[in-house]
């Protein structure tokens, strides 16, 4: 279970990871689905909150030459975020756009309680769906 937590945490940061595959593998081996769901959701939520914290801290360096996003790119991201609002953070589960959304929430200083609530909800639904698909599609292959 600790390994699942760490893989889920790493998968939510800017590091690559395969938490869904790990979750399905553990489910196939007979681990309790509710426990798997809770561990994966918690790990992935915590990983995304690391991104939020990095975004909050990174704003201090936006004028540095080595900063990975140009001022224009940051302004465009801010306009997009302000247009769609904090509810866009519900898409933090999605590949490619999820990690930048959590970093952007930090850059724009979304209150912690809102970030935790929205991220936790999105991640919990994500892993519930992974387990549902595992049960629907992998069950005959696991037993």
DSSP code string of 43-74 = HHHHHHHHHHHHHHHHGGGTTSTT-SS-HHHH
pLDDT, residue 85, reads: 84
Q: Mean pLDDT over residues 4-12, rounded?
A: 78
Instruction: Identify the band that residue 14 occupies on the pLDDT scale cut at 50, 70 and 90.
Output: low
Q: Beta-carbon neighbour count of residue 56 at 10 Å?
A: 18
What pLDDT digit, counting tens, does each position of 67-104 carry? Answer: 777 778 778 877 887 888 889 999 998 887 888 889 88
Query: Does residue 13 carry a pLDDT above 70?
Result: no
Longest dimension (CA), the chain: 56
Paired tokens of 56: 């909050």
Q: What percent of the chain has pLDDT above 90? A: 42
pLDDT on residue 113: 96
pLDDT in tens, 40-56: 999 999 999 999 998 89
16 pLDDT above the threshold of 70 = no
Question: Does 20 score more than 60 pLDDT?
Answer: yes
């Amino acid at each position: 279970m600790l390994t699942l937590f760490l893989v889920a945490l790493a998968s939510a940061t800017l590091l690559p990871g395969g938490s869904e595959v790990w979750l399905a593998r553990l489910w196939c081996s007979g681990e309790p689905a509710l426990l798997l769901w809770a561990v994966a959701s918690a790990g992935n939520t915590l990983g995304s909150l690391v991104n939020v914290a990095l975004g909050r801290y990174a704003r201090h360096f936006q004028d540095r030459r080595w900063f990975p996003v140009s001022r224009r790119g940051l302004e465009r991201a801010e306009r997009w975020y302000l247009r769609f609002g904090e509810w866009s953070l519900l898409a933090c589960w999605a590949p490619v756009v999820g990690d930048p959304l959590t970093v952007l929430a930090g850059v724009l200083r979304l209150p912690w309680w809102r970030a935790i609530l929205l991220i936790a909800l999105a991640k919990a639904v994500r892993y519930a769906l992974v387990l549902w698909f595992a049960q629907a599609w992998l069950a005959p292959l696991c037993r």
